[in-house]
């Protein structure tokens, strides 16, 4: 009986830690999937050209929010940075994703 009193709390602590790690992995993988899809959408539609944007992934995943920012890089390149955030066990977690896109070039100056 005394052995179970020593072993049982250790086992329960291990199970709790494993469940917490599994939840964190699931949430991070979901955030990465949602973020990659949103980043691809922003690049494909050209909406990243707006100074800043944000929202959530309603109606399917309203607990995940996103914010988009841009940073100018060399040679007409723009880095698009997407932050996906969610609440996990009372704490805010986030994941950053980024890609490089090029600004649209005006052809009028080239054709003259």
**Model confidence at 50, in pLDDT bands (50, 70, 90)?**
low
pLDDT confidence of residue 108: 34
Of the pLDDT bands very low, low, confident and very high (cuts 50, 70, 90), residue 112 is very low
Mean per-residue pLDDT, 90-98: 94
Task: Give the DSSP letter string of 20-77.
Answer: HHHHHHHHHHHHHHHHHHHHHHHHHHTGGGSSEEEEEETTTEEEEEEEEEEEE-GGGE
- The mean pLDDT value of the chain amounts to 84
Residues 6+ apart with CB under 8 A from 23: 88, 89
Q: Is the pTM of this model over 0.95?
A: no
Once rounded to an integer, what is the mean pLDDT over residues 24-29?
94
Q: What pLDDT does 111 receive?
A: 39
Q: What is the DSSP letter of 1?
A: -
Confidence check: pLDDT of 102 > 50:
yes
What is d(CA 43, CA 104) in angstroms, rounded to the nearest whole number? 12
Inter-residue contact 84 to 31 (CB < 8 Å): yes
Residue 67 has pLDDT above 50, yes or no: yes
- Reported as type and span, the H/E element at residue 6 is helix 2-45
How many percent of the chain have pLDDT more than 90? 47
């Amino acid at each position: 009986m005394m052995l179970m009193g020593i072993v049982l709390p250790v086992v329960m602590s291990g199970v709790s830690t494993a469940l917490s790690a599994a939840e964190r992995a699931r949430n991070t993988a979901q955030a990465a999937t949602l973020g990659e899809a949103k980043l691809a959408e922003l690049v494909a539609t050209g909406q990243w050209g707006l100074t800043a944007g944000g929202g959530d992934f309603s109606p399917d995943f309203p607990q995940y929010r996103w914010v988009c920012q841009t940073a100018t890089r060399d040679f007409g390149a723009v880095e698009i940075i997407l932050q996906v955030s969610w609440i996990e066990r009372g704490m805010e977690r986030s994941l950053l994703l980024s890609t490089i896109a090029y600004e649209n070039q005006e052809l009028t100056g080239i054709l003259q």
